[in-house]
A = this chain, B = another copy of it.
């Protein structure tokens, strides 16, 4: 604690003598979209889909393939600021709540070298999208929304030497939503879970990847599963998908899309009733009873 010693030490300390990785922030941006071209029945509501935002790479490596929005950490900013800046640069959205998700630091995950990636989750609603320049950029070809489908294709539970492990294989399909250009990206990701007491040591491994850059397919899987778990433990995150005004059916569909299971309407409404306030507005969207518009009951959000 000798002050002089301390100053001397720091003056002679060269942090650059140690090798170290570059840091990237990668952001999985989710939103909900409407499937168009379904004029079959004037009564029927449009089918909704869960969407993921991807960026087409203009540079090598993986030039022309699609990657998660993100980029490298720069001096003077925190990793959260990196994520926010990159999202703003690439999409024009200034959404503040990026949820830290996981870290990917395996060697060899990026051909450019030793690169550690911090993954984040962001959820955008229709108001956020209106304020972004995503639609405007259009076929400037940069950003694009993809309908995301995750299908579990295999599951093997093993037990040996007192440890239980479980391998699951998922097929990830990303189908471009907005322009009818039919771009389809596919990947297979293996989830390896090792159970130790209550802990689940989860690792994601890329099996194959078509059109998705780097190891981003497994990052997508990991964030998708995180989003599910977050929703399970706190339904309030579903409101992130909703604009200022929304119908309860919209909200329920958001939850169902993420969780992958259907809910019973009255039960769902009872559950979320404390978080919403009825407005006088009505939403009419078909040959059936119009629905009431609701807003967030913000007081209940602040615990």
B residues in contact with A233, CB < 8 Å: 233
Contact A164 B302 (CB under 8 A): yes
Contact B301 A195 (CB under 8 A): yes
CA distance A20 to B99 in the complex (A): 23
CA distance A298 to B85 in the complex (A): 45
Which of B23, B105, B199 makes the CB contact (< 8 A) with A21? B23
Contact B103 A13 (CB under 8 A): no
CA distance A224 to B156 in the complex (A): 36
Stretch at the interface among A111-119, A147-155, A252-260: A111-119
Residues A64 and B13 in contact in the complex (CB < 8 Å), given A20-B23, A197-B301: no
Contact B198 A234 (CB under 8 A): yes
Contact B201 A301 (CB under 8 A): no
B residues in contact with A20, CB < 8 Å: 20-23, 72-73
CA distance A293 to B105 in the complex (A): 42
Stretch at the interface among A2-10, A44-52, A132-140: A2-10
Which of B60, B105, B107 makes the CB contact (< 8 A) with A6? B60
CA distance A271 to B13 in the complex (A): 54
Contact A198 B10 (CB under 8 A): no
Stretch at the interface among A75-83, A86-94, A262-270, A279-287: A75-83
Q: Is A126 an interface residue (CB 8 A)?
A: no
B residues in contact with A34, CB < 8 Å: none
Q: Is A240 an interface residue (CB 8 A)?
A: yes
Residues A61 and B9 in contact in the complex (CB < 8 Å), given A23-B116, A100-B103, A302-B164: yes
Contact B79 A198 (CB under 8 A): no
B residues in contact with A76, CB < 8 Å: 107
Contact A111 B10 (CB under 8 A): yes
Contact B201 A15 (CB under 8 A): no
B residues in contact with A65, CB < 8 Å: 1
CB distance from A273 to the nearest CB of B (A): 16
Residues A78 and B105 in contact in the complex (CB < 8 Å), given A13-B112, A197-B301: yes
Q: Is A102 an interface residue (CB 8 A)?
A: yes
Which of B64, B78, B99, B198 makes the CB contact (< 8 A) with A106? B78
Residues A5 and B118 in contact in the complex (CB < 8 Å), given A20-B23, A103-B79, A239-B198: no
| A interface residues (Cβ-Cβ under 8 A, vs B) | 1, 5-6, 9-10, 13, 15, 18-23, 60-61, 63-65, 72-80, 96-97, 99-100, 102-103, 105-107, 111-116, 118, 164, 195-199, 201, 233-234, 236-237, 239-240, 296, 298, 301-302
Instruction: Write 14 A-B pairs (CB below 8 A) sorted by A numbering.
Output: A1-B65, A5-B60, A9-B60, A10-B111, A15-B112, A15-B115, A20-B20, A20-B23, A21-B23, A80-B105, A96-B201, A99-B199, A100-B103, A198-B240
